[in-house]
Amino acid sequence: MIISILAGIGLIAIRIRAGKKPTTLRKIIIPPLGMATGFIMFAVPMTHIPWLWGLSAFGTGLLIFSFPLIVTTRLERVHKDIYVRRSKAFIAIIIVLFAVRLALHPVVESYMSVPQTGALFYLLAFGMIVPWRLAMVSDYIRLQRAD
């Protein structure tokens, strides 16, 4: 749990610093591509979960948890560069999402093993990140064309 809290704090710090440098299409696309390598975990039998659970976790990330990230992330052009501008609510949303994850972890863990729990939360996170980053790509391309 301490490692999860430190990771959450690290994520917030990285996101705050990221807003001070211009972004690129590559910086937007690389994180979900890198995260996609995590699907390799499902080659290990101890991470197998029922399809319905996996689809539910992915769908929850996609339909519920991605929305606040999409709404609070804006790209803006400053001269020739494009910057990621997040609202002040972004940090609060990340903290709430992290708290929900921590609160649900023991409940989910009572029904499945630790590796299966990790797989489930991975699918939730991946479902959350993909639409968020796709929305960012769309905004980035729109701002590039406005040049």
Give the neighbor-by-neighbor strand order of the sheet with 73-78: 22-23, 81-86, 73-78
Number of domains in the chain: 1
Close Cβ partners of 79 (under 8 Å, ≥ 6 residues apart): none
Task: Give the global pTM.
Answer: 0.82
pLDDT > 90? residue 18:
no
Return the closest-CA partner of residue 21 out of 82, 90, 105, 109. 82
pLDDT of residue 147: 64
Domain range for 96:
2-145
Cα–Cα nearest to 120, from 138, 108, 135, 106:
108
pLDDT above 90 covers a percentage of the chain that reads 52
Confidence of residue 24 (pLDDT cuts 50, 70, 90): very high
Question: What mean pLDDT comes out for the span 106-134?
Answer: 90
For the cut 70, the answer to whether the pLDDT of residue 127 exceeds it is yes
